[in-house]
Structure 1
């Protein structure tokens, strides 16, 4: 079952997010991590919010523990508040007009 994950980084900065993305070898608007279905990030009033949709909870956990976690710790970024949701439905990009 697909899983959505919301990560709220209190005090987080989009510049830090950009450093993490570069460090783990992903590119803005490029393909995501294996198992990832959708990803977005935005500034909030007190930091940054990332929302991911994954094929499975196991894929999400593996990525966060083995890829994202070590890089954010190395850069001194505090762990986010995380919320998980079972996804009832999701849609992909539609045809271009």
Structure 2
């Protein structure tokens, strides 16, 4: 195992902070005060729909012994059903979380 010195660790942390700032500033600082074209605004509306499944899928499917956990799959199915029926993302998330933590506490 390679050990890093305190200076190397701080260099990495500061480099990552600067890189993250520059990535965000490139969009917000340079474009933030200008109106965006309609075609770009239309495409940006689909960002949450594309990102949410990418964030949820690894947690839902799991790995090793947690793969295809019935509790997670059931709560995900209920969340999708509530989302489709109510067309309300907040209610779907709250019901899914409530079911997951509620049944998780009951099951142990």
TM-score in same-fold range (> 0.5): no
Could you say which structure has the larger radius of gyration? 2
Q: When you count strand as a share of all residues, which structure comes out higher?
A: 1
Q: Which has the higher contact order (CA 8 A, sep 6+)?
A: 1
Q: TM-score range by the shorter chain?
A: under 0.3
Please, what TM-score do these two structures have when normalized by structure 2? 0.26
Q: When you count helix as a share of all residues, which structure comes out higher?
A: 2
